[in-house]
Structure 1
Amino acid sequence: MSNERFFLYDDTVDTKTRFVSFMGEEARFDLAIIKSDRYYGKSLVLDIQGNRFAIIGEDDLNEEGYLEHAFQLSERDAQELREFLYETF
């Protein structure tokens, strides 16, 4: 039995991470927004409380239902998150 791992990639990159928490009308958002040279300019957005994450760019914010599905949010909560993310991108 071989103990060698087959890596598809193993890179270390510099990132800029923003931790932010804010209250919406009905929900609290605790996020980590990670920016790097990866993902074609998109950000890795982690919902710390909800234990979900997505790779998001401005094009994704315009896609109907994307945030609702990725973070399991109501339409209203997704709109609040969308508005916040527009400000950060």
Structure 2
Amino acid sequence: MFEKIYDSVEQAQVQYIGYISDASKYDFAIVFSSHFFGKPLVVCLQTNRASILGTDDLDDLPHLLKLFDIKDLEEGKELADLLRRRMPEPHFDDPY
């Protein structure tokens, strides 16, 4: 049996980011929402991998590399820096 936890609709802001490194091309969509404690949903449009990420999550480079299937540590650092500049400040309102 399923039990409803939440069911809500909101207008979300989406930012699309594309960039090229020496080895790869990346296209990301960042979905800004009031859900998930203000952390945005980051979607890699090449791999269809997605995660709810905050600035604290960007400090965990091994996780970021695995999450988006990035093989090069320097590219992972560049991605973390790119996303960090676009992340909102975290807030701790309970969305539920």
- TM norm structure 1: 0.84
Q: How many residues align?
A: 86
* Partner Cα separation in structure 2 for residue 26 and residue 59 of structure 1: 26
1:2-53 Cα deviation digits (max 9, x unpaired): xxx7533221112110112111221111110001101112110000111101
> What is the correspondence of 1:22-61 to structure 2 with a 5 Å cutoff?
22-61=19-58
RMSD: 1.7
Judge conservation of contact 2:41–2:50 (CA < 8 Å) in 1: yes
SS of 1:14 mapped into structure 2: coil
**1:88 alignment counterpart:** 86
Instruction: Please list every run of 5 or more consecutive structure 1 residues that lacks an aligned counterpart in the other structure.
Output: none
Following superposition, the deviation at residue 82 of structure 1 comes to 0.7
Q: Return the letter of the residue paired with 1:19.
A: Y
More helix by share: 1
Quick check: which has more Rg, 1 or 2? Answer: 1
Q: Which has the higher contact order (CA 8 A, sep 6+)?
A: 2
Q: Quote the residue 1:78 is aligned against.
A: 76
Percent identity (aligned) = 27
Structure 2: stretches of 5+ with no match in the other structure: 88-96
